[in-house]
Amino acid sequence: MRVGRLFKKRFFITIFFLFILDIYTKQLALQFLDQGISRDFLPFIDLYLTFNSGIAFGFLDLGEKSISNILTLYLLKLIKDEDDYRKQFSLSFICGGAIGNIADRFMDGYVTDFLYLKINDFSFFIFNFADASITIGAILLIYFEFFKKDHLNYEAN
């Protein structure tokens, strides 16, 4: 029983690490980037400082904080109750990113974005490490849910 609780705590450490990474990189962006000025970073990602008050890459600019807070609390409960470590890991990424963006919105009233995804002249979106964590967690969760099912469950049916 004690080992099980210790095992679950590592997912909360993951959340904390992703939160700190997100806040730290946002502070670096605020310190070293000028708003609206693009800087080359990687072949398909530029550094471009901007701010948004929406959620999920600027969508749903509602100015509402309670929805994201409730969803984050629900995610924490899912991590605590989940028995599959792969799903806990995925949910940890989603939760760590969500907490990073909530904290940023709480401090400033908006979210700091600075990673500009583009290929050639086609522009996709501007995001931050919290958004990347949420996206990676969601992709992993879908993958584990649909493609890594326990084969014993299928044999039992």
Residues recognised as catalytic: 113, 131
Three-state SS at 34: coil
Tokens of 99: 């907490």
Contacts for 25 with CB less than 8 Å, ≥ 6 apart? 114, 128, 129
Q: Give all strands of the β-sheet with 122-127 in edge-to-edge order.
A: 38-42, 45-52, 111-119, 122-127
Cα separation, 94 vs 141, in Å, equals 9
- Classify residue 150 by burial, with Cβ atoms within 10 Å: 0-12, 13-18, 19+: exposed
